[in-house]
Amino acid sequence: MIVVVDDRQLVKDGYTSLFGREGIPSTGFDPVEFGEWVHAAADSDIAAVEAFLLGQGEHTFHLPKAIRDRTQAPVIAVSDHPSLEMTLALFDCGVDDVVRKPVHPREILARAAAIRRRLKAIVNFTEIGPIRVYSDGRDPEINGDIFALPRRERRILEYLVLNRGRRVSKSQIFNAIYGIFDEEVEENVVESHISKLRKKLRKKLGFDPVDSKRFLGYCIDWS
């Protein structure tokens, strides 16, 4: 999930729509509301955030420290009127990157992935057996061939591979795919997406690599 912080509702709605087209859940806060949320949110909610996108707001410069007290997720600032002084001030307050408008959501995702790679010293993909998933929105690959999937199924496969060897619950998958604030979608929709994904994996691989246990969740592993 991407969290957008801006004091303009039109900007927040615009980014939510753009990220939605890329299959990425997002939500918007004004700076004051966000400051309260980031201090009080549950650890599981904070962990569901892939990146923070900071826009215009009187309190924006105080937010990176509050974020860093809770998570190492990338913090990217969007500058409406870029200048050297503004860019330096944003870096001084603790953001990881500064971009200028207009910016495509795919670029934001790529920049966030690059920041995570630098923090973890990893490449921009994760592999398990013949399956390779990317962190920049590209389709996964199986045995080097593109394995095209609808965006929800792709995101589920990415989440399972990134958590390989660990069992994740339906709720965890739902939060990663739809975001923690989406109340218009029933959590059970995850089961339908996973069922379709598993059929496609079985057809491509000859077997189903996803193990499921009732009440415990799902796990993908390779041995």
pLDDT over 70 percentage in the chain: 95
Q: Same CATH topology for 2-120 and 125-220?
A: no
Rounded Cα–Cα distance for residues 192 and 94 (Å) = 41
> Could you check whether the bond before residue 102 is cis, i.e. omega within 30 degrees of 0?
yes
Q: What is the SS3 assignment for 148? A: coil
pLDDT in tens, 195-208: 999 999 999 999 99
201 is written with which tokens? Answer: 């994996």
- Tell which residue, 118, 120, 99, has the closest CA to residue 108: 99
User: In DSSP terms, which residues pair with 165 in a beta bridge?
Assistant: none
Q: Which fold has domain 125-220?
A: Arc Repressor Mutant, subunit A (1.10.10)
101 — pLDDT class (breaks 50, 70, 90): confident
CB 147 within 8 A of CB 204: yes
170-222 tens-digit pLDDT: 888 888 888 766 666 677 888 999 999 999 999 999 999 999 988 789 999 87
pLDDT of residue 47: 85
| CATH for 2-120 (3.30.420.40, 3.40.140.10, 3.40.50.1010, 3.40.50.2300) | 3.40.50.2300
Q: Per-residue pLDDT averaged across 45-68, rounded?
A: 87
DSSP code string of 68-84: HTT----EEEEESS--H
Nearest by Cα to 129 from 143, 108, 116:
143
In whole angstroms, give the CA distance from residue 7 to residue 101: 16
Residue 132 Rama label (left phi>0; alpha psi -120 to 50; beta): beta
pLDDT digits (tens, 9 = 90+) for 111-145: 998 888 777 655 567 888 899 998 777 899 999 89
Does residue 102 have a pLDDT over 90?
A: no
Question: Which pTM was predicted?
Answer: 0.61
Q: What does the domain layout of the chain look like in residue ranges?
A: 2-120, 125-220
| Residue 134 DSSP class | E
